[in-house]
Structure 1
Amino acid sequence: MIALGGILIVAFLLGSFAQSAEITEAPDFGGAYVEGLAGFPQSINPVLASDDASNTLVSLLFDGLTRTDPQGQVIPNLAETWDIAPDAREYTFHLRDGVRWHDGTAFSADDVIFTYGVLRDPSYSGPYGVQWRDVNVEKLDRLTVRLSLPKDSFAPFLEFTTVGILPSHILGTVGARDLPAHRFNIQPVGTGPYKLKELTPDRITLEANTSHTPSPWLSRIIFRIYPNYKTILTALERDEVEGAPLVEPGDVVRLQRRKDVTIYDAPENTVTMLFMNTANPVLSDRLVRQAITSAIDRGRVIEVARNGHARRADGPILPSSWAYDPNVKRLEYNLARARALLDEAGWTADPAGGPGRQKEGKPLRLVVLTNDRPERLAVAGEVQRQLVAIGIDVEVQATGAGGLVQDFLLPRKFEIAVYSWDFNGFDPDPYSLWHSTQVAPAGLNISGFSNRKADEVLERGRRSLDRMERLKAYAEFQAIFAEEVPALPLYLPTYEYAISTKIRGVRTGIVANPPDRFRNVTDWFAKTRREIATRRS
């Protein structure tokens, strides 16, 4: 009887467990992902990389003191925490203990001091010199470093610490001038989630760094080298690769027909605008700039130029930013209002009954300048068509991309220009594009926008580290911009890339550069294991 009773109890417990448990799939270590890479990496070094191929590998092989999350916020990486002095000029970083380089050497403050020393070296010729040249770097102990700004506080500075750190035990005797020619650039050693296993002219293999925190699920990432992004798409369709790092808007529909590929769509940290030269006699009139803004149907521009693969832009701050103010009153597409504004500015309809307008006997004519890329030409052509509808005679002129900037935009030899502005990182600070001290050619304020109140709020926004104070400053700036319209933001391109459906765990976020698609690569997985989970009653 006792034995029978025990059996019944066990059976009851097993039955109860079966009713309250379920089998689920969880990520498991293993598997590989194969992606096409456009061109061979020129320098797999975080302080020198400038091409997409090099930056892609750097993002997987190296860590910075900090990194950005999917919303572009700065979060810890090699630094566990940091303290900011009351005057916001000193940053003390406390480094993670136990981190090791791919060759097993312990990571320490010496590596940070060396890396930032390279960036501060006058002979350094990479992309970060301007940011770091005057920053003082000090080692406090094995796992603590202090960074000091030379003058005023600078809110965007924290994002500069996302640059990858170099190993001083390998490069400590190499000067900044000699670094570009060093073999390290093709034999990199980092602290990132993956480490280099093999590099050949047509293939690069990375293997998981299982000591990384967090440790990746995919055991390998393999890159096959192709001449350009178009040939990578062909390779994807031939099943030579499982991912394409860039899908142009015209190719999206074709790839969407495939059941074994997912197209990921992420907002780019870029805005395409119509920049208006405020020094031009016609465009110096705010009413004319407002009329142009009211005459442009941005939705139609997006359809024509990018097959609908973009988001409408509404101001100088990206909608994805914490600093964006959705409540700012903005000029909407309204042809009647556009015509009324031109009337108010004195540009009246042609008395002879023609399609144009004139003022004091002079016809209303403007030139829209762009580069010779098909997308930009499509934008310029559509803008021309829409402005003609309100009586502005528009001529489109195109030049090479390099010539557009150096020969026309910086010398401000243009009237209206179609140009894309790539935000330098994720901080919303728009100072370099709109403050009066930055008027081209000395700076990047190519519209020549000059407004005393705008200058004040831009200065306040970049000095303060208080989020609410910055939020208020940038809300004021957006309101001023909406009224003055020194430029018309047209659209925010979306970044599309394709990955095999066998790879799971991929999450999108704001993309400043194509390598940002790997931001959560440690969560990607191809293999699963079964786990028993208890359901809550």
Structure 2
Amino acid sequence: MRVIGWQVLVAAIGLAVVGALLFAQSSGLEVSYSPASGGEYVEAVVGQPTFVNPLLRSLAPADRDLAALTQAGLMRLDASGLPVPNLAASWAVTADGLSYTFVLREGLRWSDGFPLTLDDVLFSLRLLQAPDFPGAPDLVAMWGKVIVAKLNATTLKLTLPEAYAPFLEQMVFYVQPAHVFAPAVASELGRHPANARLVGAGPFMLKELVSNSDGTLQEAVLTPNANHFGVAPMLESVRLRFMPQAESAEAALRGGAAMGWGGAAPAAVAALLSDSQLQVYSAPVPKFGVIYLNQRNAAVDFFAEKKVRQALLLAFNRQGFVDAALQGQGIVARGPVAEGTWAQKSDLVSVAYDPKRATELLATANWQLPVDALAGTEGYAREKQGKRLVFTLAAPDDAMGRILGQLVAESWKKLGVQATVQLMPPAELYENMLPGRQFEAVLAMLNLETSADPDPYLFWHQTEIETGLNYSGYENRAISELLERARVSTSIAERARLYDSFQARFADETPALILYQPVYSYAVSRQVRGVQLGTLLEPSDRFQSVSDWYMVTRRTIRRIAKVP
């Protein structure tokens, strides 16, 4: 009876609201709703923050999430991955691409109220340029060659030794407050006690850290940064609740202890999609499942033949793999540039699954099956001039490597190509086999999250064959020239045009088999509105539009003017 009573009460309130709205409309009144400030958003985050200084770009997801909400750089990346002004009011580059000028916004303040000036930017740059800066060696080497000049109180000039278009994306580094960290030296930055204060210039500021009884952190409580230069957030607070594992994060979301969770595995996403209380947002991440074909290995010199490479790609049902193994949480890759970025060729057509065409290509290249070959046996392998299409496919010994490696090998077997899957410990594969080029073919994950700029030079330019990241050993002067020109052009439009040409040539040449891009899934309670996912260069980019999120609406009633 008590349950029925509540149902009657809810129904009565609903009827009253509807009646009031109908009365308002009949009385010449217009009712509208708009986002308003208020509401507390709670998100489950897997892992503990380490509070490495934001300038060091911690690999811990919790650190990156906290930095994305509390920190700011001179530049930021828009929804397509293009650098746009942030703390900088404007920027310019000389025609030769050597000198960059940045003008700082006026009236900036840190979350603790202290003025944010160009001296803070200079302090941060000195840390980046220090020989003992505990960051990536290539980053230290790059910054060490940059000449820094303060032209006036708000204008910074940076001069490079040579033109390098991707340099602009380096300016998204999180500026650090000199009044908090000086006179710290770079080597002390990693574990500086002030790191946990998270003084920054982002949309939120750290209010409180709540610990568990065992000393681990339970949650970080963030509130809007009143000194933020941009749009003020509408959420009253954000709580990042730290979970030991994905299962506990999912349980918190499903049980109501959290309102959001990102990074669910494909199997978990299927369940989240069926929950009517949740909205699941998704976006591809800049990673690729790739099969490198070693074109410098004499034992498999058939990989130097374009028709062989094309046939291998055509013979594998990539969409079937995404639908079945990834449960739809991925996309078939169209090429080597990530989906949604400004550099991707918009009209590039994905190579469709076509085993018949694959067979025709091998036949026209004179790769023939033996007369007595029996499908499904080891002897079912195409031959040409005494050489058989037989090789070893190395794959990481993890869940996805085992599944994908086997599926690919089975697809090729039907084509008359025998690939033996060799499972390797992931660390051995990525740290030794790939860099040492000690493979015939290898399945790997190409991760582009380390650089926001889509520059593919390191992976496909001919100078990267011996010691760089061109693991396929593919050499094509026309492609290398396109990448060289795109790397020094100061025009985004020109770079996009050059990358279009690069992607068209890549699609034809097929230097490697680009299989798929994983998708990042973000489940959020339907109570939270205004959430949008642009291009995700890393998972913490889901907070790009956080200032637009809202949970409270304001009702406005106005009288409609009568038309005489």
Q: TM-score range by the shorter chain?
A: over 0.9
Over 3 Å counting, the alpha-carbon distance change for 1:356 and 1:79 in structure 2 is: same
Over 3 Å counting, the alpha-carbon distance change for 1:347 and 1:519 in structure 2 is: same
Uncovered stretches (5+) of structure 1, i.e. residues with no partner: 1-14
One-letter amino acid of the structure 2 residue matched with residue 385 of structure 1: E
- Within the alignment, does 1:31 sit opposite 2:24 as a pair? no
Equivalent in the alignment of 1:428 = 454
Equivalent in the alignment of 1:70 = 79
Q: Which moved more, 1:40-49 or 1:50-59?
A: 40-49
Over 3 Å counting, the alpha-carbon distance change for 1:193 and 1:534 in structure 2 is: farther
Q: In structure 2, what is the Cα distance between the partners aligned to 1:476 and 1:71?
A: 19
- Post-superposition shift, 1:225? 1.5
Over 3 Å counting, the alpha-carbon distance change for 1:134 and 1:228 in structure 2 is: farther
Equivalent in the alignment of 1:416 = 441
Deviation per CA, 1:140-179, whole angstroms, max 9, x where unpaired? 222211111121x222211111111100111120000111
Q: In structure 2, what is the Cα distance between the partners aligned to 1:389 and 1:91?
A: 56
Over 3 Å counting, the alpha-carbon distance change for 1:391 and 1:16 in structure 2 is: closer
- Within the alignment, does 1:492 sit opposite 2:521 as a pair? no
Q: In structure 2, what is the Cα distance between the partners aligned to 1:40 and 1:477?
A: 41
- Within the alignment, does 1:221 sit opposite 2:238 as a pair? yes
Equivalent in the alignment of 1:112 = 121
User: Is the Cα contact below 8 Å between 1:32 and 1:221 reproduced in 2?
Assistant: yes
Over 3 Å counting, the alpha-carbon distance change for 1:32 and 1:331 in structure 2 is: closer
User: Is the Cα contact below 8 Å between 1:202 and 1:225 reproduced in 2?
Assistant: yes
> Match for 1:211 among 218, 227, 234?
227
One-letter amino acid of the structure 1 residue matched with residue 40 of structure 2: A
- Post-superposition shift, 1:132? 2.4
User: Is the Cα contact below 8 Å between 2:285 and 2:338 reproduced in 1?
Assistant: no
Equivalent in the alignment of 2:357 = 337
> Match for 2:252 among 230, 235, 246?
235
Deviation per CA, 1:318-350, whole angstroms, max 9, x where unpaired? 342333334457754322221222223332102
Matches within 5 A, 1:15-414: 19=28, 22-48=30-56, 49-127=58-136, 128-151=139-162, 153-199=163-209, 200=211, 201-212=217-228, 213-280=230-297, 281-327=301-347, 331-354=351-374, 355-414=380-439
Q: In structure 1, what is the Cα distance between the partners aligned to 2:330 and 2:142?
A: 31
2:412 is paired with a residue of what secondary structure?
helix
- Post-superposition shift, 1:534? 7.7
Over 3 Å counting, the alpha-carbon distance change for 1:273 and 1:113 in structure 2 is: same
Q: In structure 2, what is the Cα distance between the partners aligned to 1:495 and 1:330?
A: 21
Uncovered stretches (5+) of structure 2, i.e. residues with no partner: 1-23, 212-216, 375-379
One-letter amino acid of the structure 2 residue matched with residue 57 of structure 1: L
> Match for 1:471 among 487, 492, 496?
496
User: Is the Cα contact below 8 Å between 1:26 and 1:529 reproduced in 2?
Assistant: yes
- Post-superposition shift, 1:17? 12
Over 3 Å counting, the alpha-carbon distance change for 1:63 and 1:532 in structure 2 is: farther
Q: In structure 1, what is the Cα distance between the partners aligned to 2:284 and 2:30?
A: 38
User: What count of residue pairs does the alignment treat as equivalent?
Assistant: 520
Over 3 Å counting, the alpha-carbon distance change for 1:535 and 1:165 in structure 2 is: farther
Equivalent in the alignment of 1:11 = none
- Post-superposition shift, 1:187? 2.0
- Post-superposition shift, 1:454? 1.0
Q: So what's the TM-score if we normalise by structure 1?
A: 0.92
User: Is the Cα contact below 8 Å between 2:100 and 2:158 reproduced in 1?
Assistant: yes
1:296 is paired with a residue of what secondary structure?
coil
- Post-superposition shift, 1:296? 1.7
Deviation per CA, 1:377-407, whole angstroms, max 9, x where unpaired? 2211111111111001111111222211112
1:497 is paired with a residue of what secondary structure?
strand
Q: Which moved more, 1:191-200 or 1:312-321?
A: 312-321
RMSD: 2.1
Over 3 Å counting, the alpha-carbon distance change for 1:169 and 1:283 in structure 2 is: same
Q: Which moved more, 1:101-110 or 1:327-336?
A: 327-336
Q: In structure 1, what is the Cα distance between the partners aligned to 2:142 and 2:548?
A: 32
1:283 is paired with a residue of what secondary structure?
helix
Deviation per CA, 1:467-494, whole angstroms, max 9, x where unpaired? 3322332222122212221111111211
Q: In structure 1, what is the Cα distance between the partners aligned to 2:559 and 2:393?
A: 65
- Post-superposition shift, 1:521? 0.6
2:80 is paired with a residue of what secondary structure?
coil
One-letter amino acid of the structure 1 residue matched with residue 359 of structure 2: R
1:489 is paired with a residue of what secondary structure?
strand
Q: In structure 2, what is the Cα distance between the partners aligned to 1:426 and 1:154?
A: 14
Q: So what's the TM-score if we normalise by structure 2?
A: 0.88
User: Is the Cα contact below 8 Å between 1:210 and 1:216 reproduced in 2?
Assistant: no
